A and B are shown apart, each in its own frame.
Chain A
Amino acid sequence: MARGETYQAAAAALDEDTREYLSEDEGEDFSFPEFTEDWGNVIVVDNLPKIPLAKYDKLLGVLKRIFAQTGTINTIEMPAENETTLGVAFVEFETAEEAQKAIRLTDGYALDKSHVFKVNSFEEAKRLGSLQERYEPPAKPEFVPRLNPSSWLGDPMHRDQFAIRYNNETEIKWCERSGPPTLEYGGEREKEGGLYWCEQYVKWSPQGSMLATFHNKGIALWGDSDFNKQGRFAHNGVKRLDFSPGENYMITANDHSGDKRGVVVWDLRTRRELRTFEVASLPVPPPILPAGEDPGPVRYEPAHFKWSHDDSYVARRGKDKNGSDIVSIYELPSMALLGKRSLRADGVREFHWSPSANKLAFWSPEADNTPARVTLVEMPSRKELRQKNITSVTDIKLFWHPQGKYLCIKVITHTKSRKTLFHSFELLRVDEALVPIESLKMKDAAHAFAWEPNGHRFGVVHGDGIKPSVSFYSMLNKAGDAELTLLHTLEQKQCNSLHWSPQGQHCILAGTGDAFNGILEFYDVDSKAGRIVEHYRCNSIEWDPSGRIVATAVMQPLEGAFFKYQMDNGFKLWTFQGKQYHETSYENFYQFAWRPRPSSLLDAAQRKAVVKNLRKYERKFAHEDKQKDLARIREATTEKRATRKAIRDLIKLRSANYAAGSAARMRMRNGVDADADDLYVISTRTIESVVRTKEEVVCRSREDLQKAHATFKSGSPSVQRAFVRTYDWLTPLVDELVGAEDSMMFPLVNYALDQVIGEDRQETLFDERRLTRDASTAEFYESLFGAEDEDDALTKRRGGSFLKQEPVTPLSPTPQNTNCF
């Protein structure tokens, strides 16, 4: 039955009195009151039971009772036909507001199972009644392509992008595999409008499809191939931004304490606010210190929000009405509290979602005889997967494996006096049944911990001295079974943090801060090969999403003047093996951010196939790289040749001015042409100067001579030649005595010595005791040469220094460089 007819019927069944009144006064001159067309206070209730008129009053009573709760009822009408009601009622309220309230409250009200009220306003019923019987499809809107969020991934060169903020500039650049990065977009459109693109920080969305820029008034999102504005999100004084991992939502927060709209959850598709929160400051629990130490004033920190991995929940740390700590979990997109109650978590400090499942890990410190507790809860079932109680806890930190396979609990415990601290790790195998835990006790302090992003390994920086050690562990043993295994330890390293490549295997052992000032070691955990480089004062180390390139930067905070960094500001690009290939410095450098990539669409088999055919791809890429380099060089060369030609031409042109001034100059110089060639006599003379003199001790004893000879004999001809050159002062002696020069040179020298000094005296000569100046030896020498001792004797004999008295290591000459300057 069409609603229109219902209306007719209703009109027909107008109040008896009204009909009478109208008919009686028909002929009279009567100013008819203006008929009100406003049916705003009337509602139509459909889906009522169809009943015989006998039960009419009973149903009417029921309806009256229901609707009386929502407002004052003027009339209720239920049209009937053939002694049966039509299952519809018209209810007129005093005011339109009451009618609206009735619609809101009673629509969907179930009288019984088969009779669920359908309540509409009268106007709506009228509209529904006038609908056409036949369905006509609406006109198709013209197709507007959705913005392509991943256009940059289609880059034929497979390069990565990054954003930098320096001075007043914000730039998106392509990172080249060699040579300087190329500019993609630097806010040119905004500059045309006399604006800067961004005056604060920027942030990439987690899958890289959008760039968020922070402004005083809110957040702007930019995307697509040409960085067009994708949306504006007004939020005064926004300071923080957290995208959900799937880029469906985001949370923005300012730090205006007490602002009712201090935290806003946005739906990125509709660009609407889903829910707002007040900026609530929570007191940071005081650190656990040795007894008697003052923990200092209580610090406050803003409430934290954390997204679950699949965008389905957001967790928030807060306090309930009684002041106990809770973790509230909201469901998306309704932003309603999951299960209408929060998770009780007394004293909760840190809470983290697993990166790959809806599991929440949090810990709370010791309180009132209950030990510190780490809890792992599954959502939405709220099932506690695992709990770990630890006593005497100073601090706990939680590290999820980036793939959610493991959870590491870094624990610092203390002795009763709270003066000695112990470091240990509790490692949970989250994916296994009952979540087994393994413990790793450290002998010294652990400074840094990092999981290998796609593997089973982790690295720990530990040690008490200024040169800590780095240990690598694996969660699997050699056979691949679940067993914590120490792989190896590197000692005496200058580092305080670990940065794994997103592809694993390679990591950077970085020594940053005042202690190390930017020592970086690019370390390959598989081959145990390292390369130490330095980026002085660097305070940021970021791998590109592909793990090919590392950017290290010296950045300064945006606010305040930081002269500390002034001279070093800028960034460097390195290959993953630690070869620097680019460097830029800026006066003020604020931010460097790689554009993240979405996770790979390849499955394990496809990935394996790619690895297998790596050679093929490599050749292709190498070729492309070469072509590109060539093209770049060619272009640069052409350009440079042009600039060079321009400046040469200009210089040549201006030289005419100099020539023109020559007469004036001559006049000024009293008639002398200072440029004339005949003023100079050019002569060439060669000056020889001693650049370096070197003294070498050849040998000290007969054994040395023999050794030297052995070396000489076993050496290649070039070595022999070198020997002859080195000891060429011997040659004249040999020549003089034997008249020969061959490979027997050294025995011949001995022979020569024999000739000079005599067989029987030779032992004395080479005796170690010779230095004691035995009276008889001295006498001998004196008698022989008129010399004091053996050295002097030889010197006098040969006219050169042969033996020296300093105890020098034989055959490792200590050159004594004499600098002419």
Chain B
Amino acid sequence: MRPILLKGHERSITCVVYNRDGDLIFTAAKDGRPTLWLSEDGTRVGTYEVHNGAVWHLDVSWDSKLLVSGSADMHAKVWDVETGSELTTFEHTGSVRNCTFDESGRRILVHCDAFGGLDQNRPPLVSIYENEPMWGDVTSWRRAAQFQLPHPEAGEVKCQLVRWLPLGKQILCAFEDGMMKIMDSMSFSTVKEIQAHDNKIQCLSYNLHQTFLLSASTDHTCKMWDLETWDCVKTYRSDRPLNACVFSPTKEHVLLGGGQDAMSVTTTAGRQGRFETQFYHLAYEEEFGRVKGHFGPINALAISPLGKSYCSGAEDGYIRLHHFDADYLDMKDPVPEDEPAAE
């Protein structure tokens, strides 16, 4: 499997996503230029100009028409995917960490950090924006709701990730201490709290049907959650802090990425900082393969919805687009499907 190196970013990659059809790849990096690529051959189609700071997160709507990106320049912007023109800008009071579309593609969840110490005027916020009128002009948006998150400067635990839950009825917040909170998206009341991990949750990822969730943490584990009961169904144990996780859409596999924290890489002797993508079997929780190549911790993983290729973005500033070769695509489960004949 020879990867295609997507060269175009100048700094660490923060986010990689495929669109719903799997033909486009959107990437975000700390260089402030979200970039669009063709997944087929890695052609760079264009960039979305421009954020004046690191882009932390981006998301594409289900119909591949709109792109939203959140940046450390305290703005979240909505772009026209096709033309690359900026449709609207949401101003915030702090670095925008998360921004995601719900299933409609016309409702956006934006999360921004606190700014400037314990300034109660600029707390960490979660905002919801809606296209107004719905399915009307995509340049016109209104803020439908907003609520405040725990303030890290006040000694409270910092929120890491904010995501829609299926159908946009609830919101999932993941915290630095490994806690997950499920909130109602109308009332913002906490529905459920789960102590999911022992350390920072770095990545949340749904399966294709949005019935299960993966959470990856720096505590070296990735857990699979049943979204109906919120039971932890599976735990994938790694030997490294994890930053990214994703379900394979076509196979019973889970892809994990991570590596030693960029800050402590030089302080250790780990020759390889364990910057490989790890492949785990979904059911057996066993690692069966690794793809190496990065020389910095992997920050983002994305797999094409058809399961034909996957993409990893790392602290080293490279995006590696891997088209699975036949060996992998034809790979059979190590345990034969048929029940053994009675002996």
Binding site for B on A (CB under 8 A): 517, 536-537, 563-568, 585, 587, 634, 637, 640-641, 643-644, 646-648, 650-651, 654-655, 657-658, 661, 664-665, 668-670, 672, 674, 680, 821
Given contacts A640-B334, A655-B209, A665-B167, 8 further A-B contacts (CB under 8 A): A563-B268, A587-B220, A648-B283, A654-B211, A655-B211, A657-B209, A669-B105, A674-B63
* Bound CA–CA A536/B209 (angstroms): 42
8 Å CB interface, B261-314 against A: 264, 267-271, 273-274, 282-284
> In the bound complex, do residue B269 and residue A821 qualify as a contact, i.e. CB atoms below 8 Å apart?
no
> In the bound complex, do residue A566 and residue B212 qualify as a contact, i.e. CB atoms below 8 Å apart?
no
> In the bound complex, do residue A669 and residue B5 qualify as a contact, i.e. CB atoms below 8 Å apart?
no
Interface stretch of the complex, out of B91-99, B112-120, B121-129, B227-235: B227-235
> In the bound complex, do residue A537 and residue B269 qualify as a contact, i.e. CB atoms below 8 Å apart?
yes
> In the bound complex, do residue A651 and residue B212 qualify as a contact, i.e. CB atoms below 8 Å apart?
yes
* Bound CA–CA A587/B237 (angstroms): 12
> In the bound complex, do residue B269 and residue A668 qualify as a contact, i.e. CB atoms below 8 Å apart?
no
* Bound CA–CA A11/B127 (angstroms): 112
Contacts of B340 in A (CB 8 A): 634, 637
Quick one: CB contact mask for B1-43 with A, threshold 8 Å, 1 for yes? 0101100000000000000110000000000000000000000
Which residue from B2, B209, B212, B283 sits with its C-beta under 8 Å from A640? B283
Contacts of B333 in A (CB 8 A): 644
Which residue from A563, A566, A654, A674 sits with its C-beta under 8 Å from B62? A674
> In the bound complex, do residue A654 and residue B283 qualify as a contact, i.e. CB atoms below 8 Å apart?
no
Specify which of B20, B62, B273, B283 lies most central, judged by the most chain A CB atoms within 10 Å of its CB. Answer: B283
Smallest Cβ-Cβ distance to A666: which chain B residue? B103
8 Å CB interface, B204-239 against A: 207, 209-212, 220, 226-228, 233-234, 239
Contacts of A563 in B (CB 8 A): 264, 267-268
> In the bound complex, do residue A657 and residue B274 qualify as a contact, i.e. CB atoms below 8 Å apart?
no
> In the bound complex, do residue B62 and residue A643 qualify as a contact, i.e. CB atoms below 8 Å apart?
no
Known: A585-B239, A640-B283, A657-B228. A669 touches B270 (CB 8 A): no
Which residue from B135, B166, B270, B284 sits with its C-beta under 8 Å from A643? B284
* Bound CA–CA A669/B61 (angstroms): 10
Contacts of B21 in A (CB 8 A): 680
Binding site for A on B (CB under 8 A): 2, 4-5, 20-21, 62-63, 102-105, 134-135, 166-168, 207, 209-212, 220, 226-228, 233-234, 239-240, 252, 260, 264, 267-271, 273-274, 282-284, 333-336, 339-340
> In the bound complex, do residue A568 and residue B270 qualify as a contact, i.e. CB atoms below 8 Å apart?
yes
Nearest-neighbour CB distance to chain A for B99, whole angstroms, equals 18
* Bound CA–CA A296/B137 (angstroms): 83
Instruction: Please list 19 pairs of residues, one from A and one from B, whose beta carbons are closer than 8 Å in the complex, sorted by A's number.
Output: A566-B268, A566-B270, A567-B273, A567-B274, A568-B270, A637-B336, A640-B335, A644-B283, A647-B234, A647-B252, A648-B252, A654-B227, A654-B228, A658-B211, A665-B167, A669-B63, A670-B104, A821-B2, A821-B5
* Bound CA–CA A637/B239 (angstroms): 25
Known: A668-B103, A670-B135, A821-B2. A644 touches B252 (CB 8 A): yes
> In the bound complex, do residue A661 and residue B271 qualify as a contact, i.e. CB atoms below 8 Å apart?
no
Smallest Cβ-Cβ distance to B166: which chain A residue? A661
Which residue from B103, B240, B270 sits with its C-beta under 8 Å from A665? B103
Nearest-neighbour CB distance to chain A for B288, whole angstroms, equals 12
Contacts of B62 in A (CB 8 A): 669, 674
* Bound CA–CA A537/B339 (angstroms): 45
Nearest-neighbour CB distance to chain A for B305, whole angstroms, equals 11
* Bound CA–CA A566/B209 (angstroms): 39
Smallest Cβ-Cβ distance to A514: which chain B residue? B269
Which residue from B211, B227, B283, B335 sits with its C-beta under 8 Å from A637? B335
Known: A536-B271, A564-B268, A674-B62. A657 touches B283 (CB 8 A): no
> In the bound complex, do residue B226 and residue A650 qualify as a contact, i.e. CB atoms below 8 Å apart?
yes
Nearest-neighbour CB distance to chain A for B53, whole angstroms, equals 32
Which residue from A567, A585, A668 sits with its C-beta under 8 Å from B102? A668
Contacts of A643 in B (CB 8 A): 283-284
* Bound CA–CA A17/B21 (angstroms): 129
> In the bound complex, do residue A564 and residue B269 qualify as a contact, i.e. CB atoms below 8 Å apart?
yes
> In the bound complex, do residue B269 and residue A640 qualify as a contact, i.e. CB atoms below 8 Å apart?
no
Nearest-neighbour CB distance to chain B for A644, whole angstroms, equals 4
* Bound CA–CA A670/B103 (angstroms): 11
Nearest-neighbour CB distance to chain B for A131, whole angstroms, equals 73
* Bound CA–CA A640/B233 (angstroms): 15
Contacts of A670 in B (CB 8 A): 104, 134-135
Contacts of A647 in B (CB 8 A): 233-234, 252, 282-283
* Bound CA–CA A564/B269 (angstroms): 6
Task: Give the A-B pair count, Cβ closer than 8 A.
Answer: 95
Contacts of B104 in A (CB 8 A): 668-670
> In the bound complex, do residue A644 and residue B233 qualify as a contact, i.e. CB atoms below 8 Å apart?
no
Nearest-neighbour CB distance to chain B for A412, whole angstroms, equals 31
Which residue from A567, A661, A680 sits with its C-beta under 8 Å from B270? A567
* Bound CA–CA A606/B239 (angstroms): 48
* Bound CA–CA A654/B225 (angstroms): 12
Nearest-neighbour CB distance to chain B for A637, whole angstroms, equals 5
Nearest-neighbour CB distance to chain A for B42, whole angstroms, equals 8
Which residue from B210, B264, B273, B335 sits with its C-beta under 8 Å from A644? B335
Specify which of A644, A672, A680 lies most central, judged by the most chain B CB atoms within 10 Å of its CB. Answer: A644
* Bound CA–CA A536/B273 (angstroms): 12
Nearest-neighbour CB distance to chain A for B94, whole angstroms, equals 29
> In the bound complex, do residue A650 and residue B264 qualify as a contact, i.e. CB atoms below 8 Å apart?
no
Nearest-neighbour CB distance to chain A for B282, whole angstroms, equals 7
> In the bound complex, do residue B103 and residue A640 qualify as a contact, i.e. CB atoms below 8 Å apart?
no
> In the bound complex, do residue B239 and residue A658 qualify as a contact, i.e. CB atoms below 8 Å apart?
no
The 6 closest A-B pairs by CB, nearest first: A567-B270, A654-B211, A668-B104, A658-B209, A644-B283, A647-B283
Smallest Cβ-Cβ distance to B3: which chain A residue? A821
Contacts of B284 in A (CB 8 A): 640, 643-644
Known: A669-B62, A674-B20, A674-B62. A657 touches B264 (CB 8 A): no
Contacts of A536 in B (CB 8 A): 271
> In the bound complex, do residue B335 and residue A668 qualify as a contact, i.e. CB atoms below 8 Å apart?
no
Contacts of B167 in A (CB 8 A): 661, 664-665, 668
Smallest Cβ-Cβ distance to A585: which chain B residue? B239
* Bound CA–CA A305/B34 (angstroms): 71
Nearest-neighbour CB distance to chain B for A357, whole angstroms, equals 45
Contacts of A651 in B (CB 8 A): 207, 211-212
Nearest-neighbour CB distance to chain A for B43, whole angstroms, equals 12
Specify which of B62, B335, B336, B340 lies most central, judged by the most chain A CB atoms within 10 Å of its CB. Answer: B335
* Bound CA–CA A517/B269 (angstroms): 10
* Bound CA–CA A564/B252 (angstroms): 36
Which residue from A517, A634, A658, A672 sits with its C-beta under 8 Å from B210? A658
Contacts of A821 in B (CB 8 A): 2, 4-5
Contacts of B339 in A (CB 8 A): 641
* Bound CA–CA A794/B105 (angstroms): 65
Specify which of B104, B207, B209, B260 lies most central, judged by the most chain A CB atoms within 10 Å of its CB. Answer: B209
Nearest-neighbour CB distance to chain A for B141, whole angstroms, equals 16
Smallest Cβ-Cβ distance to A566: which chain B residue? B268
Which residue from A567, A646, A658, A680 sits with its C-beta under 8 Å from B268? A567
> In the bound complex, do residue A567 and residue B228 qualify as a contact, i.e. CB atoms below 8 Å apart?
no
Contacts of B105 in A (CB 8 A): 669
Contacts of A640 in B (CB 8 A): 283-284, 334-335
Contacts of B220 in A (CB 8 A): 587
> In the bound complex, do residue A568 and residue B283 qualify as a contact, i.e. CB atoms below 8 Å apart?
no
Contacts of A565 in B (CB 8 A): 269
Known: A650-B233, A669-B104. A568 touches B226 (CB 8 A): no
Contacts of B283 in A (CB 8 A): 640, 643-644, 646-648
Contacts of B234 in A (CB 8 A): 647
> In the bound complex, do residue B335 and residue A567 qualify as a contact, i.e. CB atoms below 8 Å apart?
no
Smallest Cβ-Cβ distance to A658: which chain B residue? B209
Contacts of A585 in B (CB 8 A): 239
Contacts of B260 in A (CB 8 A): 567
* Bound CA–CA A821/B1 (angstroms): 13
